């Protein structure tokens, strides 16, 4: 045994990393236990020449002392830690978990689903990337209809037959193609239009469209259904007004206003002093659309309507900028905690 061996051991003791109590146990086994390295060094002392023994002895004692000190100090640390752990009062109330808030668009979408669910409308779903047939052709859009224009629609570059759906009427085509009347369903979902983003317009937004097809469905059924919806959504004193309009897939078509929920019809900023706010488009399903979807228009008739969820949400919560819905600002979102 050389002096170097002892000095290397001193360094090894110093460098040994102890992070856990099992590291500490390994340290003890390696250096301090009966069969450990320090015991071995001691047993080799008698092989050292007498004149070198003093110097050796000093180094060996230093090695032993360092190892023991290191061991003791870590042992103490670990004991303190377990003591601290034992001092935790497990009867203390837990830290409250902060709950998130539902997005206002989801709250209103769910409310719309609930309102129509109560009168028998199911919920249906379809793809956001649609083909020309389901988004346009089946719905009677002529080849040169402006909605097909690149200005309005996001087309898929590699396949111009595909586009991001511009409305969820496409879902209704799918439903009509695959089901026999009576059909009574609403289709909520995200839609896309190539518009500049502003307080009033966005390149994507959300719609709920409704469809009811059966024998003898009339415009009166449509009007009553929408009146029921308006009263449920905005309060029982809400009035509705239908104005003639045009959509390629409904005939006759109308746009529906509700009496302004803010000024109760007296005139304010929101209703631009008219007392009325437009909330949806609707009409009787055009017989040509029924035929496109293999439904006999002699036997069946139906109505359809479509509304923007953003618009309804803005009216319910008095929000005046559409962009805030997609900015993910928690100061806005957390105001909806506990609702919905
Ligand atoms: N699809 C129309 C739109 O996106 C809304 C609508 C649906 C109008 C059904 C009439 C009937 O604007």
The answer, yes or no, to whether any atom of ligand 1 lies below 6 A from the CB of 250, is: yes
pLDDT along the chain (340 residues), means of 10: 89 94 94 93 88 90 95 90 76 86 97 98 98 96 83 90 96 97 98 93 96 98 98 96 96 97 86 94 98 97 98 95 94 90
Residue 247 CA to ligand 1 center (angstroms) comes to 7
> What is residue 90's predicted lDDT score, i.e. its pLDDT?
82
Digit-coded pLDDT (tens) for 277-303: 999 999 999 999 999 999 999 999 999
Indicate the top mutation candidate among 249, 254, 255 to test ligand 1's pocket, ranked by most ligand atoms within 8 A of CB.
Answer: 249
Give the distance (Å) from ligand 1 centre to CA of residue 94. 51
209 lines ligand 1 (CB under 6 A): yes
pLDDT of residue 80: 82
User: Which of 306, 307, 309 has most ligand 1 atoms within 8 Å of its beta carbon, as the pocket-test mutant?
Assistant: 306
For 104-336, give the CATH class.
alpha beta
The per-residue pLDDT for 152 is 87
pLDDT score at 63? 94
Pick the residue whose CA is nearest to atom 2 on ligand 1. 306
Q: Is the CB of 281 under 6 A from ligand 1?
A: yes
- The pLDDT of residue 339: 85
Q: Is the pTM of this model over 0.85?
A: no
Ligand 1 centroid to residue 328 C-alpha, Å: 28
> Of all protein residues, whose CA lies closest to atom 6 belonging to ligand 1?
306
Nearest CA to ligand 1 atom 4: 167
CB of 282 closer than 6 A to ligand 1?
A: yes
Locate the ligand 1 atom nearest the alpha carbon of residue 169 and give its number.
1
Predicted local distance difference test score (pLDDT) of residue 234: 96
CB 136 within 8 A of CB 142: no
* pLDDT value at residue 338: 85
pLDDT given for residue 146 in this prediction: 81
Q: Where are the domains of the chain?
A: 3-87, 104-336
Mutate which of 148, 195, 247 for ligand 1? The one with the most ligand atoms within 8 Å of its CB, which is 247
**Does ligand 1 lie within 6 Å of residue 170's CB atom?**
no
Ligand 1 centre from 248 Cα, in Å?
A: 9
CA of 282 to the centre of ligand 1 (A): 6
Query: How do residues 178-192 score in pLDDT, each as one tens digit?
Result: 999 999 999 999 999
* Atom number of ligand 1 nearest to Cα 211: 9
């Amino acid at each position: 045994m050389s002096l170097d061996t002892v000095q290397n051991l001193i360094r090894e003791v110093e460098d040994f990393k102890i992070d856990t109590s099992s590291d500490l146990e390994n340290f003890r086994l390696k250096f301090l236990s009966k069969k450990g390295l320090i015991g071995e060094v001691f047993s080799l002392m008698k092989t050292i020449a007498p004149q070198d023994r003093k110097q050796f002895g000093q180094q060996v004692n230093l090695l032993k002392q360092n190892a023991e000190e290191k061991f003791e100090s870590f042992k103490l640390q670990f004991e303190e830690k377990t003591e601290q752990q034992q001092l935790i009062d497990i009867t203390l109330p837990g830290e409250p978990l902060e709950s998130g808030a539902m997005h206002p668009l989801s709250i209103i979408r769910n409310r719309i689903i609930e309102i129509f669910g109560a009168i028998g409308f199911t919920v249906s779903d379809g793809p956001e990337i649609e083909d020309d047939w389901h988004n346009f052709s089946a719905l009677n859009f002529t080849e040169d209809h402006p909605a097909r224009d690149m200005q309005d629609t996001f087309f898929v570059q590699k396949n111009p037959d595909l586009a991001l759906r511009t409305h969820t009427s496409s879902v209704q085509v799918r439903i009509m193609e695959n089901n026999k009347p009576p059909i009574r369903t609403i289709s909520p979902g995200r839609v896309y239009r190539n518009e500049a983003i502003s307080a009033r317009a966005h390149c994507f937004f959300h719609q709920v469209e409704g469809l009811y097809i059966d024998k003898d469905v009339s415009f009166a059924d449509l009007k009553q259904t929408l009146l029921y919806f308006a009263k449920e959504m905005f309060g029982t004193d809400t009035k509705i007004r239908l104005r003639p309009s045009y959509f390629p897939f409904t005939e006759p078509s109308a746009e529906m206003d509700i009496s302004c929920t803010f000024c109760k019809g007296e005139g304010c900023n929101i209703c631009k002093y008219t007392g009325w706010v437009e909330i949806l488009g609707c009409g009787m399903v055009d017989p040509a659309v029924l035929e496109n979807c293999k439904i006999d228009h002699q036997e069946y008739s139906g109505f359809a309507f479509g509304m923007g969820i953003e618009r309804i949400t803005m009216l319910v919560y008095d929000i005046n900028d559409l962009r805030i819905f997609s900015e993910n600002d928690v100061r806005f979102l957390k105001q909806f905690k506990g609702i919905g």
